[in-house]
Amino acid sequence: MATETRKLVILTEGQSEPITAKTAVSVLRYRPEEVVALIDSTQVGKTTDQVLAVGGKTPFVASLKETKGADALMIGIAPAGGKLPEAWRKIVLEALEKGMDVVSGLHQFLSDDAEFVAAAEKHNANLIDVRQNSERDVANWEGVSEDCLRIHAVGQDCCVGKMVVCIELDQAMKRQGVDSKFVATGQTGILVEGDGCPIDCVVSDFISGAAEKLVLANQHHDVMFIEGQGSLAHPRYSAVTLGLLHGCRPHGMILCYEVGRTSVSHMQQVPLKSLAELRDTYEHVAGLMLPSKVIGVAMNSRLVTAEEAEKERERVRAELGVPVCDVIRHGPDDLIEAVINLRQQLVKQ
Amino acid sequence: MATETRKLVILTEGQSEPITAKTAVSVLRYRPEEVVALIDSTQVGKTTDQVLAVGGKTPFVASLKETKGADALMIGIAPAGGKLPEAWRKIVLEALEKGMDVVSGLHQFLSDDAEFVAAAEKHNANLIDVRQNSERDVANWEGVSEDCLRIHAVGQDCCVGKMVVCIELDQAMKRQGVDSKFVATGQTGILVEGDGCPIDCVVSDFISGAAEKLVLANQHHDVMFIEGQGSLAHPRYSAVTLGLLHGCRPHGMILCYEVGRTSVSHMQQVPLKSLAELRDTYEHVAGLMLPSKVIGVAMNSRLVTAEEAEKERERVRAELGVPVCDVIRHGPDDLIEAVINLRQQLVKQ
């Protein structure tokens, strides 16, 4: 779907914050040529670069009427629970009435809504629910090749940048001439990569089976970077994290976190576990299926200065004894080296 | 649903083994007055007691024609993947044509099948899919009371008897006059108890939220025994196990296993982890949310002699240092004592 060239208008009305609008941010970062404008009447006159630090001069506009040449409207947020804000219904309907497709990564499927379905049919438009899936197979541990290196991004929390880390590492490996693949497991990653599985929307009994299928489908590459979800210590989403971890059985993990965050995303009453405790937890729990180590740490330092980031990098490197970098601020070289080292170790075995 | 009195015929054609037919076995054990007969043409002439060691003189018959006075047909198996055997379609249709309801705990919903739906409508019968749910709420950690003791059965594997352990402990507590509740989390438990949530069929993002809702709905009791699912070390179902564990945040856990089993259920290539390793894993992983200990071990010794069971009981008691019993063979007293001790400890804190 997302591999075709589209001209998108992205809807983030009143919610143009980097974390809330993470779908918009990632599409702007990795598919900027597809984005015509963002709709947010509270940001009119600004560029996405000013508000979200990505996307260059892409403008904010107040409504669909002020956009030209777009063929699809994309829902640009990823809220907990995945529901469409009620006030956005009329904008979705307006897009459908113009014959535009509507692309959504929400849990609440547009295609389950009778009014949207009727409007889409009437105006020959498509409702594209990226999270919709019919996964109904359990994991079997059959046919998995050990020739393709499986690297999995895991997190201290959700919304820390696991997807960005995987994409940046994948692109860096490709630049070195390695046959690498970014394996998307969330709606935003799927929109960027054009394939993948919306793993958090799979029925629980089949999540590891769905993850295993992603491995089987992509193991003709030499390396895969499998996007992680949530955190083993997240009160809401740990099941998603574990089903994916056990389904993909990584050879190595990269632990991702955001500098300065102290409590679980959207649950301020729950303090985050330390990186060291989580490193131990991930290694122990992954090891129930296949021995796996945290080979590096990806820090997301967007909220601190370069100097603070450097200090934190040193601190974590000393504490955990593995390479640490912010793939956006520092580039991915230190983590790429860790991946190449792991690959060489495994080849020798 | 299951709290009404029904007269059931249970379908186990060609699959009347204690584990495969675990839904049938549990309904026979805990709701024997509701079961008219089992359909399995390979067992005709035998009683369920002879074949499945439960249900007394309940007969096996070859077909629906040989049953009288039943008002519902129940699918009596719980296969991996949860699909209806193709050959059973005509028996389901035959029941619907007689105006009987059909009750199923399969993942493949009867009510998604156009032919079944048409037959049910025509003959005024009901299709009851116990696993169907529309859970769409995340966990919030709000409103959970610490006055109700939460005990959770966890397992070395699936199909080891976690549900039976919870029901037996619940009944024993009630006999002591304690306001206790069995909290069902699987299709069979729901059929026995009349309420609960089919947790393995919930969309992954919402499994902990669904488990938390079960806690909120039942915490007016003094003690709840929450049925566990799968195992943290099960390659297929660990996500279900963890989502439930983190959603219900137990005060104490009972570790369940089957004596003599050495490999994961339906995955002979995967050896089971030791009880000691799993005890440590459950305590570590549960502790990411709330400190929790394994307070006892429930052994399922159905495949060994009384003497072998006694030896094994001593061995595990010595190794793990907690009470051990087979709730069917020995009765639940040792585990009940462990639960009461934990309750007293928590009250003192």
pLDDT at A331 over 70: yes
**Distance of alpha carbon A236 from alpha carbon A279, whole angstroms:** 19
B121 burial via Cβ count (<10 Å: 0-12, 13-18, 19+): exposed
Residue range B190-243, pLDDT digits in tens: 999 999 999 999 999 999 999 999 999 999 999 999 999 999 999 999 999 999
Q: Give the residue on A whose Cα is nearest the Cα of B272.
A: A288
pLDDT band for position A78 (50/70/90)?
Answer: confident
Give pLDDT, residue A242. Answer: 98
Which residue from B137, B239, B246 is facing A235, i.e. has the nearest CB? B246
Average pLDDT over residues A278-301: 98
The pLDDT mean for chain B works out to: 95
Overall average pLDDT of the B286-314 stretch? 97
Q: Mean pLDDT in chain A?
A: 95
Average pLDDT over residues A3-29: 89
pLDDT at B5: 67
Task: Over range B73-84, report the average pLDDT.
Answer: 86
Q: What is the largest CA-CA distance in chain B?
A: 62
- The torsion angles phi and psi of B280, rounded to 5 degrees, stand at -60, -40
Yes or no, beta carbons of A235 and B203 under 8 Å apart: no
Instruction: List residues bridging with B252 in a β-sheet.
Output: B151, B293
Count other C-beta atoms under 10 Å from residue B97's C-beta.
14
Q: Whole-angstrom Cα distance, residue B185 to residue B200? A: 8
What pairs with residue B50 in β-bridges?
none
Q: What is the pLDDT of residue A3?
A: 44
The pLDDT tens digits for B13-38 are 999 998 889 899 999 999 999 999 99
Angle, vertex CA B346, rays to CA B345 and CA B349, nearest 5: 95
Instruction: Give the model's pLDDT for residue A79.
Output: 77
In chain B, residues with a C-beta closer than 8 Å to the C-beta of A232 are 242, 285, 288
Tens of pLDDT, residue by residue over B158-197, are: 999 999 999 999 999 999 999 999 999 999 999 999 999 9
pLDDT of B80: 73
Which residues in A lie closer than 8 A to residue B239 (C-beta atoms)?
A: 204, 207-208, 239-240, 242-244, 246
Model confidence at B4: pLDDT above 90: no
Contact across the interface for B202 and A203, Cβ inside 8 Å:
yes
What is the per-residue pLDDT across B87-138, written as a single tens digit (0 to 9) for each? 999 999 999 999 999 999 999 999 999 999 999 999 999 999 999 999 999 9
Q: What does the alpha-carbon distance between residue B184 and residue B256 come to, in Å, rounded to a whole number?
A: 16
For testing contact with chain A, the best of B201, B238, B245 (most A CBs within 10 A): B238
* Closest by Cα among A187, A133, A243, A64 to B208: A243
Distance from CA of B83 to the nearest CA of A (A): 9
- When pLDDT is cut at 50, 70 and 90, the band that residue A5 belongs to is low
Residue of B nearest to A83 (CA): B136
* Residues of A engaging B, defined by a Cβ cutoff of 8 Å: 80-82, 107-108, 136-141, 199-205, 207-209, 232-233, 235-240, 242-244, 246, 267, 269-270, 273, 281, 284-285, 288-289
Q: What is the pLDDT of residue A1?
A: 44
What is the average pLDDT across B64-82?
90
| Domains of chain A, earliest start first | 8-129 (3.40.50.720), 149-348 (3.40.50.300)
pLDDT at res. B1: 43
